[in-house]
Amino acid sequence: MIRCVRHVTVFCALLLAALLVNADRVQFVQAPSLARNPANRRSLIVRWDRPRGDIYAGPERLTGSRDTGGRLRYRRTYTAGPRYAPVTGYASQTFGTTLLENAGDAVLSGTDPRLAPVPLWQAVTRAQAPGGRVRATVSPAAQKAAFDALGGRTGAVAALEPATGRILALVSSPSYDPGSFAGAGPADVAAWRRLTADPGRPLLNRAIRQTYPPGSAFKVVTAAAALESGKVTDPEAATDSPDPYQLPGTTTRLANEADGCADASLRRALELSCNTVFAKLGVDVGLPAMVRTAESFGFDAAGPAIPSRVTGSVFDTAMDGAQLALSSVGQYDTRATPLQMAMVAAAVANGGVVMAPYLIDQETDAHGSVVAVTRPTVLHRAMSARTAGLLQRMMLGVVTDGTGGNAAIPGVEVGGKTGTAQHGVGNTGTPYAWFICWARPKGASAAPVAVAVVVEDAAADRADISGGGNAAPVAKAVISAVLGGG
């Protein structure tokens, strides 16, 4: 009898040991993979069983949470969804998170260890803090002005504070309402399918994820290269530039929209947007120096993280003379995001220094205590302070005496550059209208804003589409909103 009891005891002990080993395997070895398994809805239920923290722009609350009473209890809501979608992104129970909803997810969901008053205790108890807050850098007034001024046309706007890199506005059009697919029901799935099938691609953030040929807006970079390389020492001196200009090694003759470009000075060529002068200048400067200057502005590198990654902008590094001539006027393979072109204008306004753009001002816990603050950082020096000063004066002339007159504002110094970019097979596409600029009140030493605008489908006859006519008024609205204290 005693022998049988001993055997049963040993057998039970083995079973208990096996049970403990298996429990440990599940808890410590398989737990991560089980948590990631799409079939495991427990993590989703936990994730959405409390209100998510909110995203703010200044005093304006951009997000909220609504109690649905379902298993995925709290659904994300948005106070001005389409206007701020390129900033907030979306937080969907079905389709995940993007942009600030993604970059700030740990804080917003309350899982960030920095939110815990006693992190070790929270790790032991697995208690979760209430969702914190993410404060965006965007100005509500500038964001509204940019969104309204685009008026539903396809395009994008990016605005920066040159001295810091703070993003003041980030608009993409057409846009979408992130709240329309925030849940997990059939209506949310249907809304997602409509948006992803929409030929207007409303989910594409054109301000940071779409590159365009920058057209004549790129002439600011070419002018910087000409001054930095010493090919031009006096912006007022006549250049040896024929009109039309025959592209090197070809019979193609490049012409201008404006009169008076033959041998025009660098200043006057920028004001009139002379293709011939800048195409020849790019060739005279040479490929290595042109590439070096473009790279110093941020081209040919991974796009900055704002914290979402921005698509990199491109200036080709292997071209013949004709291709270099076209690239120097923002055509051929040259491609840039609107944010990159805003950085070009900001560098000119900031004495040649490119600041890293950023979209998160600070993160706090649910009670407003700060857990992280973004500090401005220098990204590159694009040019010398002297070159930046010369370019500032030339860009002012574009608005006062050139093609950018529609951006003029009384009492404000606006330095700009227009662009009309050809694209498509045989350049048959509707030209993109560009305008880049910076602005400061008269007498002020620093420019509080730099803007880039691109309009894809300007509502005008093809021959009448221009950066000055279609994009400059949008930039003017943004500048007025920023200087108005919004």
pLDDT tens figures, 69-120: 988 999 999 999 999 999 999 999 999 999 999 999 999 999 898 888 766 6
Nearest partner of 160 among 359, 342, 365, judged by Cα: 342
Q: How far is CA 366 from each of CA 45, 137, 225, 361, rounded to the nearest angstrom?
A: 21, 19, 49, 16
Hey, what are 260's tokens? 């008076």
Are 216 and 419 in contact by the 8 Å Cβ rule? The answer is yes
Report d(CA 189, CA 321) in Å as an integer: 51
Tens of pLDDT, residues 439-480: 999 999 999 999 999 999 765 554 455 677 889 999 999 999
Q: Where are the beta strands (DSSP E) in 284-355?
A: 353-355
Report d(CA 415, CA 399) in Å as an integer: 6
C-alpha dihedral, 148 to 450 to 175 to 301, nearest 10°? 170
Q: How far is CA 338 from each of CA 166, 244, 313, rounded to the nearest angstrom?
A: 15, 30, 10
Are 436 and 223 in contact by the 8 Å Cβ rule? The answer is no
pLDDT the model gives residue 35: 67
How many CB atoms are closer than 10 A to CB 360? 21
Q: Is 369 an annotated catalytic residue?
A: no
Q: How far is CA 472 from each of CA 27, 200, 301, 435, rounded to the nearest angstrom?
A: 60, 23, 28, 5
Domains of the chain as residue ranges with CATH:
47-116+132-136 (3.90.1310.10), 207-360+376-484 (3.40.710.10)
Report d(CA 411, CA 381) in Å as an integer: 30
Nearest partner of 272 among 249, 295, 241, judged by Cα: 241
Calculate mean pLDDT across residues 30-47.
Answer: 74
Tens of pLDDT, residues 397-450: 999 999 999 999 999 999 999 998 887 666 677 789 999 999 999 999 999 999
Residue whose entry in the numeric block shows the structure tokens 């498509």: 424
Instruction: Tell whether the model's pLDDT for residue 41 goes beyond 80.
Output: no
Number of alpha helices (DSSP H) and beta strands (DSSP E) in the chain = 18, 18
Tens of pLDDT, residues 226-246: 999 999 999 999 999 999 999
> Which candidate in 109, 173, 180, 216 is catalytic?
216
Residue whose entry in the numeric block shows the structure tokens 């389709």: 95
141 Rama class: left (phi>0) / alpha (psi -120 to 50) / beta = alpha
Nearest partner of 420 among 255, 212, 234, 223, judged by Cα: 212
pLDDT the model gives residue 204: 97
Under the banding of pLDDT at 50, 70 and 90, the label for residue 36 is low
Nearest partner of 144 among 216, 87, 97, 205, judged by Cα: 87
Exposed e or buried b for every residue in 106-124, given b needs 16+ CB within 10 A? ebbbbbbeebbeeeeeeee
User: Residue 318, class by beta-carbon neighbours within 10 Å (0-12 exposed, 13-18 middle, 19+ buried)?
Assistant: exposed
Residues 6+ apart with CB under 8 A from 30: none
Residues 6+ apart with CB under 8 A from 394: 223, 235, 266, 267, 270, 271, 415
Tens of pLDDT, residues 307-328: 999 999 999 999 999 999 999 9
pLDDT the model gives residue 1: 61
Residue whose entry in the numeric block shows the structure tokens 């209208």: 433
How many CB atoms are closer than 10 A to CB 429? 14
Are 221 and 452 in contact by the 8 Å Cβ rule? The answer is no
Partners of 460 in beta bridges: none
pLDDT the model gives residue 124: 62
Tens of pLDDT, residues 181-220: 999 999 999 999 999 999 999 999 999 999 999 999 999 9
Please tell me what DSSP assigns to residue 134. Answer: E
Are 282 and 274 in contact by the 8 Å Cβ rule? The answer is no
Model pTM? 0.90
Residue 202: asked if its preceding bond is cis (omega within 30°), the reply is: no
Hey, what are 480's tokens? 């007025």
Dihedral of CA 108/109/110/112: which sign? negative
- In the three-class reduction of DSSP (H, G, I as helix; E, B as strand; rest coil), residue 225 is classed as helix
Average pLDDT, the chain: 92
Are 400 and 311 in contact by the 8 Å Cβ rule? The answer is no
Are 427 and 470 in contact by the 8 Å Cβ rule? The answer is no
Residue whose entry in the numeric block shows the structure tokens 């060529």: 269
pLDDT the model gives residue 85: 98
Exposed e or buried b for every residue in 394-407, given b needs 16+ CB within 10 A? bbbbbbeebbbbbb
- In the three-class reduction of DSSP (H, G, I as helix; E, B as strand; rest coil), residue 399 is classed as helix
